[in-house]
Amino acid sequence: MRKGSLPGIPALLILAGCGGGGGSSDGLDNADAGASTNTGSTGAGTHQSATILEGSWTKPCGIGEGENSSDPNAFYDVVTLTFSGNEFYSDIKNYSDAECTTPYPVAPNPTSSGTFTLGDTVTTTSGVQATAIDTHITRFNGAEFDIHDYNIVRLSENMLYLGDESGINDGETAERRPDTLDFERVFYQNQTP
């Protein structure tokens, strides 16, 4: 199983690549300031400074990746991504109902963590600017893992869009990095108290 729900969340999360694509670019302002990759020694290794992704982001309840809402056995999910420096953590909660109130009975509720690097600005097929993101998942459901994923991200105010990893541009290699954004299921930045 490559993609769980990031998306199901497979790799960036097993991150978040639910279908989608298309959409309007109106009002989108990809914040590239702060996409710093500056590092400094902390004595215990290298620490990456905060990036534009810093904080916690949640994709509200929606149909799971690859699921069909007309299927009575379809699952729905809520995905939370947390970024700190150059590290990320994803947590997916799976549900059997469209309101995300009844936990899916056979769902593992996957988690993953690892590191990421923000890259160059890329232009999607619709002309919208995004930023390349390379992730390395090192833990999945508590076990050691070694998965690399190549995606794109775009920020607009408190909204985070990920690349559409369906089809040939599934993010399994840098050459197959998505070239469209998923505008259908958006991550919203969680407010800190």
What pLDDT is recorded for position 193? Answer: 63
Q: What is the pTM of this model?
A: 0.77
What is the residue extent of each domain of the chain? 11-39+46-189
Residue 27 or 128, more confident: 128
pLDDT tens track for 138-181? 999 989 999 999 999 999 989 999 999 988 999 999 999 999 99
pLDDT tens track for 70-123? 898 889 999 999 999 999 999 999 999 999 999 988 877 999 999 999 999 999
- Return the DSSP state at 191: P
- Residue pair 147/141 in contact by the 8 Å Cβ criterion: no
Most confident among 41-45, 46-50, 107-111, 162-166 (mean pLDDT): 162-166
Residue 162's Cβ-side half-sphere holds a number of Cα atoms within 13 Å equal to 36
- Burial letters for 136-162: b for 16+ Cβ neighbours within 10 Å, e otherwise? bbeebeeeebebebbbbbbbeeeebbb
State the pLDDT confidence band at 67, using cuts at 50, 70 and 90: confident
